[in-house]
């Protein structure tokens, strides 16, 4: 019996959800998954969602996305977007990414991916029958090497995939890095797919720079965003795509054909909460404190952490625990101590080599991190 297409063979087994399930069964403190535990979703959004359901907004709506939401979103960016021609509301950034890949990659086309990367990228790329070309970035600064990036571009390259602020590394793309990407895109006539799901999580007074803010990239960029993290509503499945009008027309046709639109009452609730632009809703001060606490806790047991400038993860190199493969380290922490972290391998293309790092999600209540700290007190390197 057929068990799937050839393109499915390129999709790696989904490591993270298996791990989370096992951790939950064991009652571990879950610092592996970035599912928001903090901040709490804004009350205004919950109230608007209940009202939207009760008021009868329960059927198909504008499949490009709720008009009020697109209008508010378009105005919320540093470089405003036209809600009619440049914005589409998607079923989370997950759908946005898949639509972006399907919209611009033909079978056999190549896309440059910085590694480590958000695991599901490989699913979207494989679904489009395209081929990832990896460029490795390394701690502590996680910046890429311009020569390595240029070398990854070949005759079949169609796009560069970036993620800023980055999951897992926390790296936030700087102006000079964007300038290099813009120059390469122009020289080789490439698109950039820019995953900006963590746009509102930049710390220490830093600023998120979107691909749409970069001169020369605005017409070459597909920006993928989401309310999952910015407003802690990952279960509502509301994301968006921003692209120039001609690209938007193509992306919308795929989005509408695949989904029939994102959840209607929930889009309305987000739009009417009045919180889209982040003026009256800023989770950064809280998250920055949680970041500092996570870094303190894990440095305290000897792991080598760089304090991330953005996102909601700390990457920790194993340091004194480096004799252990990162997967056995994670297993030991989960089974012996009840603390669940994500092994670095999950974010690499070669799952067989040892990554030497773990990822720690810090968008959790303080009490959660305190429990983890208590449980880690007896942690020692293996002899």
Interface ranges with ligand PMP (CB under 6 A): 34, 92-94, 118, 163, 167, 195, 197, 226, 228, 234, 239
CB closer to ligand PMP out of 254 and 301: 254
> Rounded distance, CA 358 to CA 223, Å?
28
Rounded to a whole number of angstroms, the minimum distance from the CB of residue 302 to ligand PMP is 27
Residue nearest to ligand PMP (CB): 92
CB closer to ligand PMP out of 167 and 273: 167
Q: Is the peptide bond before 168 cis (omega within 30 degrees of 0)?
A: yes
Rounded to a whole number of angstroms, the minimum distance from the CB of residue 328 to ligand PMP is 25
Helix (H) or strand (E) holding 343: strand 342-343
Rounded to a whole number of angstroms, the minimum distance from the CB of residue 16 to ligand PMP is 10
For residue 280, the 8-state DSSP code is T
> Rounded distance, CA 6 to CA 210, Å?
35
CB closer to ligand PMP out of 240 and 321: 240
Rounded to a whole number of angstroms, the minimum distance from the CB of residue 196 to ligand PMP is 9
For the chain, the helix, strand and coil percentages under 3-state DSSP, each to the nearest 5: 40, 15, 45
CB closer to ligand PMP out of 222 and 379: 222
CB closer to ligand PMP out of 48 and 124: 124
Helix (H) or strand (E) holding 315: strand 313-317
Are 232 and 36 spatial neighbours (Cβ–Cβ below 8 Å)?
yes
CB closer to ligand PMP out of 163 and 373: 163
Instruction: Mention every residue, 6+ apart, whose C-beta is less than 8 A from residue 219.
Output: 244
Rounded to a whole number of angstroms, the minimum distance from the CB of residue 121 to ligand PMP is 8
For residue 336, the 8-state DSSP code is I
> Rounded distance, CA 105 to CA 107, Å?
7
Rounded to a whole number of angstroms, the minimum distance from the CB of residue 35 to ligand PMP is 8
Question: Strand 157-163 relative to strand 221-226: parallel, antiparallel, unpaired?
Answer: unpaired
Locus of tokens 């009350």: 43
């Amino acid at each position: 019996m057929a068990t799937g297409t050839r393109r499915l063979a390129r999709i790696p087994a989904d490591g993270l959800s298996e791990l989370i399930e096992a951790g939950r069964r064991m009652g571990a403190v879950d610092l592996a998954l970035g599912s928001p535990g903090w901040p709490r979703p804004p009350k205004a959004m919950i109230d608007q969602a209940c009202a939207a359901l009760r008021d009868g907004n329960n059927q198909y709506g504008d499949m490009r996305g709720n008009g009020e939401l697109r209008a508010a979103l378009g105005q919320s960016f540093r470089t405003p977007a036209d809600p009619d021609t440049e914005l589409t509301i998607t079923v989370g950034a997950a759908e946005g990414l898949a639509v972006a890949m399907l919209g611009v990659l033909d079978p056999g086309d190549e896309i440059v991916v910085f590694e480590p990367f958000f695991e599901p990228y490989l699913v979207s790329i494989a679904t489009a029958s395209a081929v990832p070309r990896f460029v490795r970035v390394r701690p502590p600064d996680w910046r890429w090497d311009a020569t390595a990036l240029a070398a990854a571009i070949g005759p079949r390259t169609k796009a560069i995939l970036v993620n800023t602020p980055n999951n897992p590394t926390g790296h936030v793309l700087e102006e000079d890095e964007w300038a290099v990407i813009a120059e390469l895109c122009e020289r080789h006539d490439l698109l950039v797919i820019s995953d900006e799901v963590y746009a509102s999580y930049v710390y220490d007074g830093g600023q998120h720079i979107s691909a749409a803010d970069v001169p020369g990239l605005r017409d070459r960029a597909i920006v993928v965003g989401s309310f999952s993290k910015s407003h802690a509503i990952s279960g509502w499945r509301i994301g968006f795509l921003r692209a120039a009008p001609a690209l938007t027309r193509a992306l919308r046709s795929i989005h509408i054909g695949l989904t029939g639109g994102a959840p209607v009452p929930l889009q309305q609730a987000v739009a009417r909460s009045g919180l889209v632009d982040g003026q009256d809703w800023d989770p950064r001060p809280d998250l920055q404190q949680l970041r500092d606490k996570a870094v303190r806790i894990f440095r305290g047991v000897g792991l080598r952490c760089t304090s991330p400038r953005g996102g909601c993860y700390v990457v920790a190199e194993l340091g004194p625990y480096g004799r252990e493969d990162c997967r056995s380290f994670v297993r030991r922490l989960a089974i012996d101590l009840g603390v669940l972290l994500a092994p670095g391998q999950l974010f690499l293309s070669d799952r067989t080599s040892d990554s030497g790092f773990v990822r720690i999600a810090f968008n959790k209540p303080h009490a959660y991190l305190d429990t983890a700290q208590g449980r880690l007190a007896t942690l020692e390197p293996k002899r």
